[in-house]
Amino acid sequence: MDSLINLLDAFQIIFSNPYSLMYILIGVAAGIIVGCLPGLTATMGVALLVPFTFSLPPVQGLLLLLGIFTGGIYGGSISGILIRTPGTPAAAATLLDGYPLSQRGEAGKAIGIATIASFIGGSIGALIMSFLAPEIAQFGLRFGPPEFFALAIFGLTMIISISGVSLLKGAIAALFGLLLTTIGLDPLSGVARFSFGSDDLLGGITFIPALIGLFGFAQVFHNIEKMQIVPQVKSKVGKILPSLKEIRSLLPTMFKSGGMGAMTGSVPGLGADVAAFIAYAEAKRTAKKPEEFGKGALEGVAAPEAANNGATGGAMIPMLTLGIPGDAVTAVLLGALTIHGFQPGPLLFVNHLDIVYPIFAGMILCQLVLLIVGLAGARLFARLINIDTRILTAVIFLLCIVGSYSIRFSFFDVGLGLTIGVLAYFMGKAQFPVSPILLALILGPMAEQNMRRSLMLSRDDPTIFFTRPISAIFLFLAVFMAITSYIRFKQLRKIEQRVADDAAVENESNNG
């Protein structure tokens, strides 16, 4: 009951300030634009605009970022449906049936279903977050330094899930990120570490320039290398709204997939793309006509879109309650909260309810705005896919420079962002993932500081981590997650290799 009252009060706060609604609208629209442009991601969109929120009141700045998050995940479906190129990884499952619908001349209907499913799934995720997160935070109040150290180690097991094609390269990237966190003044003793005599490095690697370098400058260099115009859309976007009969028939799939997405998204390391494929597989398994999947089944669009948007709320749960990001976007949001002076975790629900519940209310309102903007602007967003990459790259490059400079008004930060961007670009060329670096930058300090505090409390006795039940459970879960994720990783690689071999054999037989 207290949660409901606090949530209603938060709605009143947002509605009492028209600027709050305006920033939600701007954020959702900007997120859809970023999401529907192939090559850009919701993570990059949020990362680029974090610096521009510092001049805003904290609530309004966070509402803007939440809007980008929500719109970005949905926006990827537009390019996936129209040109079979997902704007974001979360839309990779949507194109399986969305593109065949587009080829049949039903692109508008596919986009309409994707929009409605995104609204329903996102609303389910936001509601689950609003009522489940405070309960988890109450449990988190029992945490001390050993528990937070174990929690950080558990969070670092996400590296396996975001390592791409090579676990070794993912681990190397994470170790590099952990090394970056040691630069600057020691958090406990105040001794300078690896600053190389530079006063600018005494405070460590500034988070925002590093973030913009990893996801902004690196994307600019990648675009410069490719420098080509995005393929023209051949499908005509006709009628957007599906019939009431079609919507009614899809509602069970949307609600079930939205719940599955929220639960999947709440598990650190899985994220919206995994949630989308899980929901797609479940929808196909329970469908009356599973043979239509892959050929333009409406359920094949509704299920993944409801799931990947449901995962947005789910991914916020561990980030807000425990300080562990559920995916790459919430990792950026965690950094944004920290920079605004709020430390995500159990104490956030004790000291800053004035921030927590507006976030909940804002996520719910973002879904409503997404429905309205998505349906009203579907044809406009579809045309944006044809933007010349050269213009887009120049705009992104300018935003990267302004964003890096605006943190401390320092050209050193611009140079830092550029340096990390060049490094991230070459890492990408060598197939090293950069997401583990971001994860290490966030969780590394948390692990180091709480490990050292725990050892000080126990007089250098490491058994403190295993004699306290909560920390022991998290360490066990970390090992369990690492092992099961590794097994799943190997199984996926074998399946992908088998598919590639079968495709090669089929090509040879066709050529023969």
The predicted-structure confidence for 400-451, as pLDDT tens digits, reads as follows 887 788 767 788 888 988 999 899 899 888 888 887 887 788 778 888 888 9
pLDDT digits (tens, 9 = 90+) for 156-199: 776 665 566 677 888 888 889 889 888 888 877 778 888 887 88
pLDDT at 163: 62
Q: Tell the residue number behind the tokens 């879904």, with chain if given.
A: 367
The structure tokens listed for 75 are 């926006």
What is the model's pLDDT at position 28? Answer: 92
- Residue 496 clears pLDDT 70, i.e. is over it: no
Burial profile 411-435: b = 16 or more Cβ within 10 angstroms, e = fewer? ebbbebbbebbebbbebbeeebbbb
What's the pLDDT at 511? 58
pLDDT at 385: 65
- How long is the chain? 512
| Mean pLDDT comparison of 89-93, 232-236, 429-433, highest-scoring range | 429-433
Phi, psi of 139 (to 5 degrees): -65, -40
Sole residue written with tokens 């993912």: 170
Out of 323-332, 387-396, 500-509, pick the least confident: 500-509
Measured CA to CA, the distance from residue 326 to residue 441 in angstroms comes to 15
- pLDDT at residue 233, rounded to an integer: 46
pLDDT tier at 387, thresholds 50, 70, 90: low
Identify which has the larger pLDDT, 162 or 131.
Answer: 131
Q: Which residue has the higher pLDDT, 18 or 386?
A: 18
Tell whether the model's pLDDT for residue 389 goes beyond 80: no
Are 31 and 379 contacting, i.e. CB atoms less than 8 angstroms apart? no
Give me the pLDDT at residue 232, please: 47
pLDDT recorded at residue 197: 79
Neighbours of 359 (CB within 10 A): 25
- The Cα 41–Cα 396 span in angstroms is 12
Q: Does residue 57 sit in helix, strand or coil?
A: coil
C-alpha to C-alpha distance for 297 and 301, rounded to whole angstroms: 7
How far is 300 from 486, CA to CA, in rounded Å?
29
For residue range 21-69, what is the model confidence (pLDDT) as tens digits? 899 999 999 888 888 876 677 777 888 788 888 888 888 888 999 999 9
Residue 209 near residue 441 (C-beta atoms within 8 A): no
Mean pLDDT across the chain = 81
Total tally of structural domains belonging to the chain:
1
Any idea which residue has 């959702």 for tokens?
A: 28
pLDDT of residue 117: 92
Helix (H) or strand (E) holding 185: strand 184-185
CA–CA distance, 434 with 273 (Å, rounded to integer): 17
- DSSP string covering 358-387, please? HHHHHHHHHHHHHHHHHHHTHHHHHHGGG-
Between 141 and 363, the higher pLDDT residue: 363
Mean pLDDT, rounded, for 338-363? 84
pLDDT at position 107 over 90: no
Query: What would the pLDDT profile of 199-220 be if each residue is shown by its tens digit?
Result: 888 888 877 788 778 877 887 8
Whether 286 shows a pLDDT value over 70: the answer reads yes
pLDDT band at 16 (very low <50, low <70, confident <90, very high): confident
Among 9, 13, 32, CA closest to 369: 32
Q: Which of 161-175, 351-365, 480-494 has the highest mean pLDDT?
A: 351-365
Q: What percent of the chain has pLDDT over 70?
A: 87
Instruction: Check pLDDT > 60 for residue 360.
Output: yes
Q: Residues of the chain with pLDDT > 90: what percent?
A: 9
Give me the phi and psi of 184, to 5 degrees please. 110, -165
Half-sphere exposure in the Cβ direction for 388 (13 Å, CA): 3
pLDDT at 369 over 90: yes
- Determine the structural domain holding residue 308 and report its residue range: 2-511
Answer whether 267's CB lies under 8 Å from 136's CB.
Answer: no
Q: How crowded is the C-beta side of 493, counted as CA atoms within 13 Å?
A: 12
Distances (CA, A) of 474 to 124, 174, 269, 466, 469: 28, 20, 15, 10, 9
**Predicted pLDDT of residue 263:** 84
Lowest mean pLDDT across 56-60, 153-157, 352-356: 153-157
CA torsion through residues 22, 28, 29, 31, sign:
positive
C-beta atoms surrounding 494 within 10 Å: 10
Would you state the pLDDT for residue 213?
Answer: 84
DSSP H or E segment with residue 193:
strand 192-193
The average pLDDT across 331-347 equals 82
Q: Which residues contact 415 (CB under 8 A, 6 or more apart)?
A: none
DSSP one-letter string for 424-489:
HHHHHHTT--SHHHHHHHHHHHHHHHHHHHHHHHTTS-TTHHHHSHHHHHHHHHHHHHHHHHHHHH
Identify which of 56-70, 197-211, 226-240, 258-272 has the greatest average pLDDT: 56-70
Tell me the mean pLDDT in the region 8-32.
Answer: 88
230 has a pLDDT exceeding 50: no
d(CA 288, CA 335) in angstroms, rounded, equals 45
The pLDDT assigned to 50 comes to: 82
pLDDT at residue 139, as a whole number:
73
